[in-house]
Structure 1
């Protein structure tokens, strides 16, 4: 029982349940399955992006350019759809994934080959990709009237009572779970985060694996470029502006350690859902948006404190002492 209660996912589930219960006292329909399904759908893009960010954070890196990647790939696919509406939407999604992959690979190459810290690289590409969005579009917007009905409607289509956007998120959860728990790449990602030096002696190419992690995060952002633009039916330079903070917050709240090597798919999903519930619940009970920001920030600080305490567990201490020796 004690081991169970030490798991971050259990505490997050309890916090989510308490939040739903408190809001339900003011608005009973909030706890209905239909409304919770809507909240999940609203949070789906954040869930997918948090999973992509998690892969990078596990390697002791960070990708601050994901939101700018979303904006640029979203603009590219929207402009192509506006100019050539006959192109099938799945082809545009694949194109977005390829563009996002290229942007992520650029980040990964700079980190791998030049040895530049990831926070510096992605802080620079954050601005580069946002500026490229303006250059590609000439500062113009692509609005709903320029997008084809299939481009807008695909992820709104229903399957077994859920929008396809929710199914995108569920598929991402399943794929990332398999990647991180059932593949050599997943084990390598965790190993690098725990101890990069020992990983080299274990035969893991740390630089190449980190590069692959950035490619994955870039490809995820590219897919979300289409999902974002088609959901909110607008492509502009301001798309997802500042959203990188939400992505990282979801990971931190979900127990993914910034120091690398610690985290789970379930934690990332619950962290994103916690933020999604806050964003959906607080307006229902007429709480100011500024208080929403304060509550989200408080949750992030609390999560960092809990993460720091978790990293002082006996296993981590022994590892650090061994490294020092």
Structure 2
């Protein structure tokens, strides 16, 4: 008698084979493709493309002209940098409302350095802006991480403190384009292969920060802290150090955004950056970063920033009144938060079911 075990040789449908293949046996390219397609970032990107398509159909020059393409990339560059830092802070289950004031302070600092120290290298001024922003972020981080005071309260207070410093320092004066070197101002208008330099800087920032969060242990620890700070501390993670680092990074990037603001607009007053902190938070939330921390990506926050700026440019072209323009942004924010809660509840339910089955 044969000891051979009968084998079912009936044909199996290709879809069934794909379902039965373990993810670990799939190629890295396939896994990356599946992750991207199923990601929330892809949904936001589709919305962005639909907005651009609708505005282009209505007014072809919205996209198909040299200046329009340049503005489409250049306008969100500053918000992209702010959103990258804000995303890191929110991932750790905090928020930084002071970034607009930090931007205003470092933008004015940039102009004063050029005005008071003629001949100062541009690189040195950029470094000074980033360092100044990092120090302001360090103040936020120390109060939040070591003082254990809610970030919302601390950064709301420093928002007014930093803005008060700018108002006292600048008063009614302002920095004009003639006070800054032409080479510095050209950074706000120069392009490389039709791509604005400021957008390239913003893209590099988003890429570096996103890669750090995705690939490095420190970035993964920030996600763990945002998911459950108490559990992360019990596990042995240095929660205070990571939260402090998140605020320093957010402040440094806000400082860089202030330098970019000075280069982009050429004129800096005490009101520079007023209100942009809310746009940064909105971009991050719309981009899929959970407002309660622990999930989301910098890539999504970047797409959310571009979407916000594009909506502001596209909706007037589509003939939508100002009220509904603001309402659309508000609806996107509420929708993103509701979606996040629904997905979180669904994931928690699946975990409970899996535990019960085991």
User: What TM-score do the two structures reach when normalised by structure 2?
Assistant: 0.84
Aligned equivalents of 1:152, 1:5: Cα separation in 2: 40
Shift in Å, 1:315: 4.2
Aligned equivalents of 1:168, 1:126: Cα separation in 2: 25
Residue among 311, 315, 331 paired with 1:298: 331
Aligned equivalents of 1:261, 1:47: Cα separation in 2: 20
- Counterpart for residue 256 of structure 2: 223
> Once structures 1 and 2 are overlaid, which stretch shifts more, 291-300 or 59-68?
291-300
Output aligned runs, 1:59-70, within 5 Å.
59-70=92-103
Aligned equivalents of 1:25, 1:138: Cα separation in 2: 46
Aligned equivalents of 2:35, 2:178: Cα separation in 1: 55
SS in 2 for 1:180: helix
Output aligned runs, 1:154-165, within 5 Å.
154-165=187-198
- Counterpart for residue 76 of structure 1: 109
- Counterpart for residue 314 of structure 1: 347
**Contact 1:81/1:151 (<8 A) preserved:** no
Aligned equivalents of 2:168, 2:309: Cα separation in 1: 32
Confirm or deny that 1:21 pairs with 2:53: yes
Shift in Å, 1:88: 1.3
Aligned equivalents of 1:170, 1:44: Cα separation in 2: 8
> Once structures 1 and 2 are overlaid, which stretch shifts more, 285-294 or 213-222?
285-294
**Contact 2:76/2:305 (<8 A) preserved:** yes
User: Which stretches in structure 2 are left out of the alignment for 5+ residues?
Assistant: 1-32
Confirm or deny that 1:175 pairs with 2:208: yes
Shift in Å, 1:5: 6.2
Pick closer, same or farther for the CA change 1:2–1:74 going to 2, 3 Å.
closer
Aligned equivalents of 1:266, 1:33: Cα separation in 2: 27
Structure 1, residues 47-83: CA drift from partner, whole Å, max 9, x if none? 1110100000011100000000000011111111112
Shift in Å, 1:278: 0.4
Shift in Å, 1:217: 0.1
Residue among 108, 122, 126 paired with 1:89: 122
**Contact 2:187/2:264 (<8 A) preserved:** no
- Counterpart for residue 248 of structure 1: 281
Residue among 103, 121, 135 paired with 1:102: 135
Q: Which has the larger radius of gyration?
A: 2
User: Which stretches in structure 1 are left out of the alignment for 5+ residues?
Assistant: none
**Contact 1:82/1:148 (<8 A) preserved:** no
**Contact 2:89/2:247 (<8 A) preserved:** yes
Residue among 193, 199, 209 paired with 2:232: 199
- Counterpart for residue 315 of structure 2: 282
Shift in Å, 1:6: 4.8
Shift in Å, 1:311: 1.5
> Once structures 1 and 2 are overlaid, which stretch shifts more, 46-55 or 310-319?
310-319
After superposition, the CA RMSD in angstroms is 2.1
Equivalent residue pairs, number: 320
Confirm or deny that 1:260 pairs with 2:289: no
Shift in Å, 1:30: 2.3
Shift in Å, 1:283: 2.7
> Once structures 1 and 2 are overlaid, which stretch shifts more, 120-129 or 82-91?
82-91
Structure 1, residues 217-236: CA drift from partner, whole Å, max 9, x if none? 00000011110122111211
Shift in Å, 1:265: 1.9
**Contact 2:133/2:253 (<8 A) preserved:** yes
SS in 2 for 1:312: helix
Aligned equivalents of 2:144, 2:34: Cα separation in 1: 40
Aligned equivalents of 2:350, 2:120: Cα separation in 1: 55
Shift in Å, 1:147: 2.1
User: What TM-score do the two structures reach when normalised by structure 1?
Assistant: 0.92
**Contact 1:51/1:265 (<8 A) preserved:** yes
